[in-house]
Chain A
């Protein structure tokens, strides 16, 4: 497919609220996972929480207030200069918004339910999932199509794919794609109940991995049909392709041979019109559950063999669920910009059954052109995005 230019990228996570903070933590090998938690007090596992104060939403948007909406606003704010630059050529009704989330304002609903049964809680403004797209559209002053995509842990990736189609069909000239999830007790106890949460810091692809840690955050990017003329700050980044499919296997367990992962990675590479040998890095879903990591490694080997460097960055951020794909897209784009691949933090003793080339240390990657980012979800909803750079 024709590449779709990316004009701005942001990420908010336990590693900070700016790309510079994200980069510094990745370089230093400094995890954002910590305990005890302020947001989930008493949690028996480390979490990756955003520790800076989150400003309330402005004006009339205050009715939509939630921790999720505030994280979303924080991720959108740095896009203002890019969007201001676009307004001369992209009228508001040609600017679309797609937001991915798996829990929306659920954390605030939980708090209200504990306080008074959520008697006065404005569900339709604060928790209903479409509200995330309403908030985002108002914040960026978009008047084009806007909606929320919610496919659990691949929400952020399916949001990117949805946005890409709005551009490819000429429905929009630019789309703000965001993804967000705030920590909440439902997911914490839900994943504990499934027996897939590590009470230690998570260890993707380690022989002794016992499960995931939760994180929270938000990410955003601006995708456009055509790159504006004029001088460009930094290298040209673009979405080169994607793959999406279903495993048809189980609601929570991955198909063990990694067939689903392999299908979407192969599809993504084919859609991008590149060869597997053009892929210089894969940011893995890598949740650190025993089954997920094994299946993904097998899928990786089927498509890309054992020589393409890859890593899960969830040892830095935790699993951001609906926002995971967005924050990991930012990390993947950073790898392309910096020509430096982030390590797979938390893997000390590599699982001997993992054949994929898991990066235990950062790796310089001069001249890297393409990288994949995988996200898989409940319901067997698999995605793989291909990002590219032109210097």
Chain B
């Protein structure tokens, strides 16, 4: 059950903190110039950062980027809506092109000058897990390498959207390659979508059969306890980035369309 090697990972919470709680060094003004930084959302800025920090600039030129997000540019939509109330509405062109779900991968391609394909996958609280299955199919279909970046902002400018279900900025990224030369963080051992109804075994029994050392059964919060739709991504990245022994994570995520995404991640020992 080796799967695909994970060559890089990065995560950022609330724009400044590592997943483990410590502060990160300031963002790189050379990669995202100040005139660009002024024009982009927190989500775009953080997605750019983690994509780069996970080694995105070193990826094969044709390695695609799969972006996962549950709410997309929800605060940008929140900023546009009041403009529609005017007698002669004027929508800022910058806000408008920043409002699409693929704004972050678009900026990534422009700033990194990469011509590789990108896509954006969204499926509520299963957005990350769905994007991982998309990445899995791409790797099996012959892509040399795939980077998955997942991000959602705290809902701060969209009171109509029940801000309590996403209360932190979180972005994470992992780079999955076909070759296993050089240092690795771990392995993407398996991704599947299982139908509703009884699993062949329940989650605990499945974890035992798989010899998992950790289980993330439909997690709803970041490690700090804050509600977040990308809690699954945070669980995977916290697992990969933590120093210590090797281990295996079983992540189970119920999909809003029914069925369960199941991910198995193996971690290499690192200190």
Chain A residues near B (Cβ < 8 Å): 92-93, 97, 102, 106, 109-110, 112-114, 117-119, 121, 123-124, 128-131, 133-134, 137-138, 142-152, 158, 161-162, 165-166, 168-169, 171, 185-186, 189-194, 244-252, 260, 263, 377-381
A-B contact pairs, 13 of them (CB 8 A): A124-B124, A128-B122, A128-B124, A134-B124, A138-B257, A151-B100, A162-B121, A189-B90, A247-B115, A248-B113, A251-B98, A251-B103, A252-B93
Q: In the complex, which residue of chain B has the Cβ closest to the Cβ of A97?
A: B257
Whether A193 lies near B92 (C-beta < 8 A) is: yes
For residue B5, CB closer than 8 A to chain A, the reply is no
Whether B100 lies near A379 (C-beta < 8 A) is: yes
- Checking A112, A131, A142 against B160 with a beta-carbon cut-off of 8 angstroms, the contacting residue is A112
Q: In the complex, which residue of chain B has the Cβ closest to the Cβ of A187?
A: B96
Q: Using a Cβ–Cβ cut-off of 8 Å, how many residues does chain B contribute to the interface with A?
A: 68
Minimum C-beta distance from B102 to chain A (A): 4
Whether A109 lies near B256 (C-beta < 8 A) is: no
Give chain B residues whose Cβ lies under 8 Å from the Cβ of A123.
Answer: 158, 160-162
Whether A149 lies near B120 (C-beta < 8 A) is: yes
For residue B147, CB closer than 8 A to chain A, the reply is no
Whether A246 lies near B195 (C-beta < 8 A) is: no
Whether A121 lies near B160 (C-beta < 8 A) is: yes
Whether A248 lies near B110 (C-beta < 8 A) is: yes
Which 3 pairs across A and B sit closest by C-beta, in order of nearness? Answer: A379-B106, A190-B96, A93-B195
Give chain A residues whose Cβ lies under 8 Å from the Cβ of B112.
Answer: 248
Which of B106, B134, B165, B259: most chain A CB closer than 10 A? B106
Spot the interface stretch: B76-84, B205-213, B236-244. Answer: B76-84
Q: In the complex, which residue of chain A has the Cβ closest to the Cβ of B194?
A: A93
For residue B151, CB closer than 8 A to chain A, the reply is no
Give chain B residues whose Cβ lies under 8 Å from the Cβ of A378.
Answer: 97, 100, 102-103, 106
Give chain A residues whose Cβ lies under 8 Å from the Cβ of B131.
Answer: 147
Minimum C-beta distance from B95 to chain A (A): 8
Q: What separation, in Å, do the CA atoms of A63 and B57 have in the docked complex? A: 43
Spot the interface stretch: B8-16, B21-29, B137-145, B170-178. Answer: B137-145
- Checking A109, A119, A168 against B141 with a beta-carbon cut-off of 8 angstroms, the contacting residue is A168
Q: What separation, in Å, do the CA atoms of A137 and B115 have in the docked complex? A: 33
Q: What separation, in Å, do the CA atoms of A18 and B255 have in the docked complex? A: 32
Whether B114 lies near A246 (C-beta < 8 A) is: yes
B64-95 near A? 1/0 per residue, CB < 8 Å: 10000011100001001101110001111100
For residue B101, CB closer than 8 A to chain A, the reply is yes
Q: What separation, in Å, do the CA atoms of A335 and B66 have in the docked complex? A: 33
Given contacts A169-B140, A248-B109, are A151 and B120 in contact (CB under 8 A)?
Answer: yes
- Checking A110, A151, A245 against B101 with a beta-carbon cut-off of 8 angstroms, the contacting residue is A151
Q: What separation, in Å, do the CA atoms of A165 and B193 have in the docked complex? A: 14
Minimum C-beta distance from B243 to chain A (A): 34
For residue B99, CB closer than 8 A to chain A, the reply is yes
Whether B127 lies near A114 (C-beta < 8 A) is: no
Q: What separation, in Å, do the CA atoms of A251 and B255 have in the docked complex? A: 32
Q: What separation, in Å, do the CA atoms of A249 and B261 have in the docked complex? A: 36
Minimum C-beta distance from B67 to chain A (A): 9
- Checking A102, A145, A249, A260 against B133 with a beta-carbon cut-off of 8 angstroms, the contacting residue is A145
Whether A106 lies near B258 (C-beta < 8 A) is: no
Minimum C-beta distance from A260 to chain B (A): 8
- Checking A121, A137, A165 against B258 with a beta-carbon cut-off of 8 angstroms, the contacting residue is A137
Whether B137 lies near A248 (C-beta < 8 A) is: no
Give chain B residues whose Cβ lies under 8 Å from the Cβ of A162.
Answer: 119, 121, 134, 137
Q: In the complex, which residue of chain B has the Cβ closest to the Cβ of A192?
A: B91
Whether B193 lies near A144 (C-beta < 8 A) is: yes
Minimum C-beta distance from A129 to chain B (A): 5
For residue B157, CB closer than 8 A to chain A, the reply is no
Minimum C-beta distance from B7 to chain A (A): 21
Within 8 A of A (CB), among B152-172: 158-162, 165
Give chain B residues whose Cβ lies under 8 Å from the Cβ of A138.
Answer: 257
- Checking B101, B106, B140, B194 against A380 with a beta-carbon cut-off of 8 angstroms, the contacting residue is B106
Give chain A residues whose Cβ lies under 8 Å from the Cβ of B162.
Answer: 123-124
Whether A151 lies near B109 (C-beta < 8 A) is: no
Whether A92 lies near B195 (C-beta < 8 A) is: yes
Whether A190 lies near B91 (C-beta < 8 A) is: yes
Minimum C-beta distance from A264 to chain B (A): 8
